[in-house]
Structure formats: structure tokens, C-alpha cells
Amino acid sequence: MSNNRNPNEWVLICILFGAFIVFSITVSISQTLNLDLPTSFNVFCRFLIMSAAAYCSLKFGDEIVFLRFSDIWPVFLGWTWICIWPALQYWATIGMPSFYEPNLWPTVWWNEWYGRLGVLIGLIAGGYAIRNAWQNRY
């Protein structure tokens, strides 16, 4: 009797299971935040990349001095803000008429470049101010 089973079939099963988990999380984000699926997937992938970078910072930060999490956590705070920019774009377009010019961006202040940049600079600068005050105190 021949056995045609591939010993690496479990890899395919793991990939399919992982894809199902990602899809489930994306649908859950979509329903919770009132977003469409592509926007939810974009936000989820951005958070996933940021989480991987934070993990690497925590894991390798002792060996690579400029990657210490205690020194760069304000950057991750700003990165969190960048992760939700696609959601801001989607929320800004809700209620726009269908004849609205798709090449023009809505004029909601928190979706404009100056609103995004101002909040980003505020988060990072505020984070570093808190970090410096905390380090000077203790």
C-alpha cells in the first residue's frame, strides 16, 4: 500500500487557520468600528506590523541601544495614531453624496494633513515630555 500523504500538510492547515483568524478579526473590527472590510483589513495589518516592531523592540532593545522600548515608546504612540488613518478617512467620507468628486478629500479637520500631523507631533512630543519628566523624577 502506498502512502501519498505529504508530511508538510500541517503547514497548509496552519496557513488556512491563520487566514481564517485574520478574516475573523477583520470582520470583528469592521463591525465594531463601523468600517468596511478593506479599511478594517488595512487598519488590522498596520497594527500587526506595529505590534511586531514593538515586540522586536522589547526583545532586542537591550542589545541595540537605540531600539530600547523605554526610549522609543512615544514613537509607538504616534505609530498607533498613524494606524487608524485609514479609518479616519473612511469615517470622514460617511454621509458624502454619491456624486461627490472622488479625487477630492473631505474637509473634516481631523482628516486633513494638518490635523493628522498636529496630533502626531503632539502625541510624540507629549510622550517624550512625559518620558523625560518621569526619568528626571525617578
Q: What is the pLDDT of residues 103-133, one digit of tens each?
A: 665 567 777 889 999 999 999 999 999 988 8
Please report whether residue 118 resides in a domain.
yes
76: confidence class by pLDDT, cuts 50, 70, 90: very high
pLDDT cut 90: percent of the chain above it: 28
Is it the case that residue 21 has pLDDT exceeding 80? yes
Please report whether residue 61 resides in a domain.
yes
- pLDDT (0 to 100) of residue 102: 59
Please report whether residue 14 resides in a domain.
yes
- pLDDT (0 to 100) of residue 47: 92
CB neighbour class for 114 (10 Å; exposed up to 12, middle 13-18, buried from 19): exposed
Short-list 51, 52, 31, 49, CA closest to 40: 31
Please report whether residue 50 resides in a domain.
yes
- Mean pLDDT taken over the chain: 83
**Phi-psi sector, 111: left (phi>0), alpha (psi -120 to 50), beta:** alpha
- pLDDT (0 to 100) of residue 4: 60
Please report whether residue 3 resides in a domain.
no
Number of domains in the chain: 1
Question: Which residue type occupies 95?
Answer: G
Lowest-pLDDT range of 5-14, 61-70, 116-125? 5-14
Please report whether residue 2 resides in a domain.
no
Specify the residue for cell string 522589547: 58
- Count of residues making up the chain: 138
- pLDDT (0 to 100) of residue 103: 62
Average pLDDT (27-42) is: 89
pTM of the predicted model as reported, rounded to 2 decimal places:
0.75
Instruction: Extract the C-alpha cell encoding 42.
Output: 488595512
- pLDDT (0 to 100) of residue 74: 93
Please report whether residue 94 resides in a domain.
yes
Residue pair 40/27 in contact (Cβ under 8 Å)? The answer is yes
100: confidence class by pLDDT, cuts 50, 70, 90: low
Q: Which domain range does residue 121 map to?
A: 9-137
- Which regions of 1-136 does DSSP assign to beta strands (E)? none
- pLDDT (0 to 100) of residue 3: 59
